[in-house]
Structure 1
Amino acid sequence: MSNANLTNKDIISPPSKQVPLWAKAIALLALLNLTLGLFNISYVQLRDIYLKYLPAVVRVYDPIKGIEPNTQTDNYLVTVNQLVAKLPEKGLLDPTTKDLLTSLRSQSVALIEEDPFAVGNKFATFAKIQRRMQERVGVESTREAFLTFWSVDYLMSKNVIQEIDFFENKISSLIRTNYFRNTDVTGQFVDDFWRIDIFFMLFFAVDFLLRSLVIYRQNPQLSLGDGMLRRWYDLFLLLPVWRWLRILPVTIRLHQAKIINLEGILAQITHEPAAYLADRVAEFVTLRLIDQTQESIQKGDMARSLLSPEPGIKINNVNEVEVISNRLLDLTVYQVLPKIQPQMESLLHHSLESAIKQSDFYETVRQIPTLGQLPDDVIKQLSNFVTDATYEVISASYSDLEGRELFDSLAKQFQDALRQELQDEATLHEIQSLLSDLLEEMKLNYIQNSQKRTPEQMIDEMAKIEQVAENIQDEKE
């Protein structure tokens, strides 16, 4: 493939060849960057899961998202832990235990009134806590549920261990997910992922410039800006926002590096839409072309262009009609006439025989015994002579310079005379009407025939043809 013929398809899906290791490494690096970006985008939504199963990830990544422990809910859990530690040795009636229960009741009221879960958008979590406490205690008021739960009378009337286990497993685990998140000067939540992403962005910026420069060097007709436009999808790797859009350049790079193969996936995804779209486009283009030709014939534009040609745009300063006419004339003289010479002789023989048989001379000669076969022999020789002479005259005249000029003059005169006669209004109207009807029939037949096969059948047939072509190419290689 020459550089001049390089297309976007060649850049996105280059020809089959061994992919360098550095290309695969860069593609995997882009995949890593995309993975980190998606992790950062989804971190807050999935933080509860990380906290439960991968707490180390939370400890490392919370500072990057500006997340800190919520002092109010953390102090609440500390008090709960102190109560759990005191109960086995002190019991419910110990003054220390009663003080802790009093503290928990006051802290519970503060939680309900101040709602520290709102800072981290944990409304659903707090609603779940309230509902569980109401169901456990059997009251409809959240405030009353907490005050009752952390009372000596309630805990003594229940199994203390079971109640504490309930709170630890069903309530504390939810409270523990709450956090405080810092905001910047603009009021937006802190997100320091850019401190990680900046290294990837710088690397891919250099890679983008180098790839654009290669395209520019390989295609002299392109500017450096054009080379950048051919790698437009790589710009998503350089944007500090909308990082999920990086899935496009990453997917393309993985496909180019042959780490994944998108051909089959794209073929299946676009199979039915492409089939119907291609069918509609082909139908539109075909009918549009026929309609324009039909309109040109009906308006007389085509007749005027053929019968009265005017100066216009010429490619290579060639009169195509004249060249085609000369080519057809060459084929007629040197290829067609020799092949139909026997038929021409038969036709002339028949014509001469019919004409001579109508004369009295023929009947007179036929009655002479020794000359009975003479008329038939003469007719045969005469027809052969006329045919050979005609072909030789045309061939010799066409190959001779002076004869060619006379022949061209005759052809031009014939064309002028034919053109003049075709300009007759009645003749022209008849021809235009016939051609218009012919095109109308072509449209109707095209629509009728196109309905016999579904677009999916056409796509399947194309896929089979492509598979055969690939097999042939593989055999050659």
Structure 2
Amino acid sequence: MQTIKTANPEGSPNNGGPINWYKKFMAIVAVINLLLVGFDSSYIPLRDIYFHQIPPVVVTYDKIKGIEPHPETENYLETVNQLTRQLQQPNSSLETPQVEDLLESLRYESEGMLNENPFMAAGKFGTFAKIQRRMRQHLGTEYASDAFQTFWTSSYLITHNSNQELNFFQSKITPLIASNYSRSVDEIGQFTDDFWRIDIFFMCFFGLEFLLRTFFMHRRITGLRWIDAMLRRWYDVLLFLPFWRGLRVIPVAVRLQQSHLVNFDRILVQMTHEPAAKLADRLSRFVMVRFINQAQDSIREGTAAQSLLNPQPAIDLNNVNEIEVITDRLLELTIYKVLPQIKPELEAVLHHSIESAFKESGIYQSLKALPGLGNLPRDFTEQMASNLAQTTVTVLETSYADVEGRVLFERLSKEFNQAFRKALGDHQTQEEIQILLTDFLEELKLNYVVKSTHSDPEATLAEIENLYQLEEPPSLPSVQ
């Protein structure tokens, strides 16, 4: 039989050494890449948080996503800043022509912002609604347009402390307007996304590593083609696909498990507990019913009897007749181990048989009636039974150990097999046995397969898991 040798099969633990450190390094690189993918995927939804809490991140990463300040909202905020600077100048008031022009411009731009909704392109409907709600609540008006038109008037600012009102706008409204942006599109009409410029290094790295890993796997495992090695590591392809980047969590999890940096066994067991129990229950019943049905078909068609009566040549892996070896071993155990242990029981059976035979004869009754000879029949039968048992065991041991005796045993076994096969070849006997075996298998299917549906597969699976826990040595801590 051909033996497949591997230097270090995939997934097998390697305590220390360069291979283990290499696996850990590759797992860490894969985790870093996955974190970058996760950050890129979540950047747009979480941009407002980065904008207010970590502005340098927005300044840097907006370029990757093709994000620029929206011109309309930027112009609006610039007008607000001009008004603030104008009011901070010495001898300036809300009634000067310059301030009135700025207030009029702000009313006009506010109306345009509310009508055109520059927040729509960025999908910031919530931000736009929050601006309107805060202005309505602050001014106590029903409509946001009325609130803006009232707020940007000199009369309102004079009567309501202009500094406090402008501080309110700068703290509550300006950050919301400033978070708006516009995003450029590429030649095919998609939003600009240059994350590939970062990801391309990881894609090339993992692509090259995939080719080298599968090539050495193909060289290390006898009979494994390179394409088969690639199919075994199919999940690593997800690491260098330019799309469906979220699926990279699969190879990352596999690499973390193989490198023993994280143990996902407990998580996987709990996540797949109920589905695995149901699937295992259905699969076991399917296999049992399929096996019984195939056995019934083989019995009905007569192929089972033909295989027994006329065995065909089969594939031999080691030039050894396993059936003969097993039979010889069982016969050896029977002669040298079993018979000596059951010698008292064998004597009892022979004693009973001899005594029963003597009781049926008139000689036994005559001897029993003679004075002084009443116990002679019993002593005689006991002695004969003991001698016969001892002789039987001795003869079998001597004959089996002797070369000529072994030949006689083999001849007896051969003649017995031929006689047994000839007896089974009788058509009526075959039909009777086929009917009995078919009925027996049908009863087995009805009694055990159907009854198994009443058992709880989850309880069985829990019992198996308990057995595994008793067998497995302590391992790395599981991630909870």
What TM-score do the two structures reach when normalised by structure 1?
0.83
CA distance in 2, matches of 1:197, 1:347: 86
CA distance in 2, matches of 1:261, 1:407: 59
Read off the aligned partner of 2:417 and give its amino acid letter. Answer: Q
Read off the aligned partner of 1:65 and give its amino acid letter. Answer: K
* Bigger mean CA deviation after superposition, 444-453 or 275-284: 444-453
CA distance in 1, matches of 2:156, 2:344: 123
CA distance in 2, matches of 1:472, 1:40: 39
> Which residue among 171, 187, 192 is the counterpart of 1:190?
192
2:131 corresponds to: 129
1:102-154: CA deviation from partner (whole Å, max 9, x where unpaired): 21122223334444333333343334334444454455555444333323344
1:164 corresponds to: 166
2:66 corresponds to: 66
Q: 1:53: Cα distance to partner?
A: 0.8
Structure 1 residues 189 and 451: alpha-carbon distance in aligned structure 2, compared to 1, 3 A threshold: closer
Structure 1 residues 105 and 423: alpha-carbon distance in aligned structure 2, compared to 1, 3 A threshold: same
Structure 2: tracts of 5 or more residues without a match = none
1:206 corresponds to: 208
The answer to whether the 8 A contact 1:37-1:244 is kept is: yes
Structure 1 residues 104 and 433: alpha-carbon distance in aligned structure 2, compared to 1, 3 A threshold: same
* Bigger mean CA deviation after superposition, 232-241 or 118-127: 118-127
1:111 corresponds to: 113
* Bigger mean CA deviation after superposition, 42-51 or 403-412: 403-412
CA distance in 1, matches of 2:474, 2:84: 78
Instruction: Say if 2:239 is the partner of 1:241.
Output: no
The answer to whether the 8 A contact 2:288-2:449 is kept is: no
Q: 1:263: Cα distance to partner?
A: 1.9
* Bigger mean CA deviation after superposition, 367-376 or 240-249: 367-376
The answer to whether the 8 A contact 2:351-2:385 is kept is: yes
Read off the aligned partner of 1:85 and give its amino acid letter. Answer: R
CA distance in 2, matches of 1:472, 1:94: 82
Structure 1 residues 472 and 36: alpha-carbon distance in aligned structure 2, compared to 1, 3 A threshold: closer
2:38 corresponds to: 38
Q: 1:55: Cα distance to partner?
A: 0.8
Provide the alpha-carbon RMSD of the alignment.
3.6
The answer to whether the 8 A contact 2:206-2:240 is kept is: yes
Q: 1:425: Cα distance to partner?
A: 5.6
Structure 1 residues 127 and 377: alpha-carbon distance in aligned structure 2, compared to 1, 3 A threshold: closer
1:208-232: CA deviation from partner (whole Å, max 9, x where unpaired): 2332233233213222333333332
1:94 corresponds to: 96
* Bigger mean CA deviation after superposition, 315-324 or 209-218: 315-324
1:173 corresponds to: 175
Structure 1 residues 246 and 358: alpha-carbon distance in aligned structure 2, compared to 1, 3 A threshold: closer
Q: Could you say what secondary structure the match of 2:44 adopts?
A: helix
The answer to whether the 8 A contact 2:5-2:222 is kept is: no
1:153-201: CA deviation from partner (whole Å, max 9, x where unpaired): 4444544334323322332221101112111212211112222222222
The answer to whether the 8 A contact 1:3-1:219 is kept is: no
Q: Could you say what secondary structure the match of 2:201 adopts?
A: helix
Q: 1:41: Cα distance to partner?
A: 1.5
Read off the aligned partner of 1:46 and give its amino acid letter. Answer: L
Q: Could you say what secondary structure the match of 1:68 adopts?
A: strand
> Which residue among 231, 234, 242 is the counterpart of 2:233?
231
> Which residue among 263, 266, 279 is the counterpart of 2:265?
263
> Which residue among 203, 217, 220 is the counterpart of 1:218?
220
Q: 1:433: Cα distance to partner?
A: 4.6
CA distance in 1, matches of 2:122, 2:299: 74
CA distance in 1, matches of 2:333, 2:103: 112
CA distance in 2, matches of 1:222, 1:449: 44
| Paired residues, number | 471
> Which residue among 448, 461, 466 is the counterpart of 1:459?
461
CA distance in 2, matches of 1:165, 1:342: 111
Structure 1 residues 473 and 353: alpha-carbon distance in aligned structure 2, compared to 1, 3 A threshold: farther
* Bigger mean CA deviation after superposition, 74-83 or 382-391: 382-391
The answer to whether the 8 A contact 1:236-1:246 is kept is: yes
Q: Could you say what secondary structure the match of 2:98 adopts?
A: helix
CA distance in 2, matches of 1:24, 1:411: 62
Identity of aligned residues (%): 48
| Equivalences for residues 55-454 of structure 1 within 5 A | 55-88=55-88, 89-137=91-139, 142-297=144-299, 300-311=302-313, 324-369=326-371, 374-391=376-393, 394=396, 398=400, 404-424=406-426, 427-443=429-445, 446=448, 450=452, 454=456
Task: Write 1 or 2 for the structure with the bigger share of helix.
Answer: 1
Q: 1:44: Cα distance to partner?
A: 1.6
Q: Could you say what secondary structure the match of 1:208 adopts?
A: helix
The answer to whether the 8 A contact 1:216-1:223 is kept is: yes
The answer to whether the 8 A contact 2:256-2:262 is kept is: yes
1:15 corresponds to: 13
Read off the aligned partner of 1:38 and give its amino acid letter. Answer: G
What TM-score do the two structures reach when normalised by structure 2?
0.83
Structure 1: tracts of 5 or more residues without a match = none
Structure 1 residues 366 and 118: alpha-carbon distance in aligned structure 2, compared to 1, 3 A threshold: closer
CA distance in 2, matches of 1:247, 1:366: 95
* Bigger mean CA deviation after superposition, 211-220 or 73-82: 211-220
CA distance in 2, matches of 1:362, 1:33: 100
